[in-house]
């Protein structure tokens, strides 16, 4: 897995974990986090959502996009980098808390840079700034 994709997956997973422990987006924005002590181990996706950008993809409305997939529930949704939903394919829809977590994640400038780098690595002929 590419480093950008893995970091995006980990970041969304962490926000969803925080929400599952009763934290809120508002509290996360203020720096409040739920922490536990556990043995350090390799990260494993808890919630199953994965970012994906296809090689040789295309712009939609002259903008890049990514897919947020959860294979276990047959979810594949396309989003613009600002978090606006384009469409969803598959049997299921994304839960409201996942939309909130995704919006919070994408509000961070460093995540926008990661998405741009991820897009540019997959689509060198359609680079974005």
> What pLDDT, in 10s, does the model give residues 24-70?
999 989 988 877 766 555 657 788 999 999 998 889 999 999 999 99
The Cβ-side half-sphere exposure at 32, using a 13 Å CA radius, reads 9
Can you give the pLDDT at residue 117?
Answer: 93
Note the pTM of the prediction, 2 decimals.
0.79
> What pLDDT, in 10s, does the model give residues 4-31?
788 899 999 989 998 998 989 999 899 8
Can you give the pLDDT at residue 93?
Answer: 81
- Residue-range domain boundaries for the chain: 3-126
Can you give the pLDDT at residue 42?
Answer: 63
Average pLDDT over residues 106-110: 93
The residue assigned the tokens 């925080």 is 18
Q: Which two tokens stand for residue 23?
A: 């934290």
> What pLDDT, in 10s, does the model give residues 81-106?
999 999 998 777 888 999 999 999 99
**Nearest in space to 70 (alpha carbons), one of 99, 86, 87, 47:** 47
CA distances from 97 to 28, 39, 70 (A): 14, 28, 15
- pLDDT band of 1, cuts 50, 70, 90: very low
Q: What is the DSSP string of 71-125?
A: GGGTEEEEEETTS-EEEEEES----HHHHHHHHHHHTSHHHHHHHHHHHHHH-GG
Element at 27 (helix H, strand E): helix 25-29
């Amino acid at each position: 897995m590419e480093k950008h994709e893995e970091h995006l997956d980990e970041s969304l997973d962490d926000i969803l974990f925080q929400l599952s422990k009763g934290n809120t987006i508002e509290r996360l924005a203020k720096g409040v986090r739920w922490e536990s002590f556990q043995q350090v181990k390799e990260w494993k996706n808890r919630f199953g959502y994965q970012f994906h950008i296809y090689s040789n993809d295309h712009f939609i409305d002259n903008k890049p996009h990514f897919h947020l997939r959860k294979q276990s529930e047959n979810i594949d949704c396309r989003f613009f980098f600002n978090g606006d939903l384009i469409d969803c394919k598959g049997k299921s829809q994304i839960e409201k808390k996942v939309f909130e977590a995704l919006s919070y994640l994408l509000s961070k400038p460093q995540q926008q840079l990661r998405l741009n780098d991820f897009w540019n690595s997959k689509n060198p002929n359609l680079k974005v700034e």
